[in-house]
Structure 1
């Protein structure tokens, strides 16, 4: 995984821990790690690796949300022309389920562009 993508994810982790009472943060992270370890959720690193392989840009923000009861990774990226694009992945399967933004094609890696 690219170092540029790891840093924002680490900042997100730090911010979540600082913004949440310590006991709740520990329980939350423990349950997330358990869900990844047991195969209930895809590891964020796998999603970020896939994004790096298919799209150019820098990760700005990562969130784990619930959409209709389903866990969804929402990842905002800054593209090479300054565009901001949000990718949504099913956190259980790792499937890309949505992309929103401007000039998305401009972010596709050349071997991926059609």
Structure 2
């Protein structure tokens, strides 16, 4: 699976409003990865690729009421854009739907 467009790790600590808060979000994501609180991006991409083969257009790390979720947009081989949500800690696929 290729990373066809921008990779955005955002919304870990709320909406990013400035460059400084974006840096904080990225630092928080790195810390969560180092602590084992979230899976690495390559692992998440592998999980998503098994669910929806295609090209990854966008990845976001979101805080959903204290639960971290990877939200991916994938251009499927049939030409449709699909949204895949994956639990950032367990790797469980939570949702697959057309975007």
**TM-score normalised over the length of structure 2:** 0.76
Matches for 1:6-17 after TM superposition, within 5 Å: 7-8=4-5, 11-13=6-8
For structure 1, list consecutive stretches of 5 or more residues without a partner in the other structure. Answer: 103-114
For structure 2, list consecutive stretches of 5 or more residues without a partner in the other structure. Answer: 10-15
Q: How many pairs were matched up?
A: 95
Structure 1 runs (4+) deviating above 4 angstroms are: none
Aligned mates of 2:67, 2:30 — CA distance in 1:
17
Report 1 or 2 for greater relative contact order, CA contacts < 8 Å, sequence distance ≥ 6. 2
The alpha carbon displacement at 1:53 in A equals 4.2
Q: Which has the higher helix share?
A: 1
Please tell me whether Structure 1 or Structure 2 has the larger radius of gyration of its CA atoms: 1
**TM-score normalised over the length of structure 1:** 0.67
SS at match of 2:47: helix
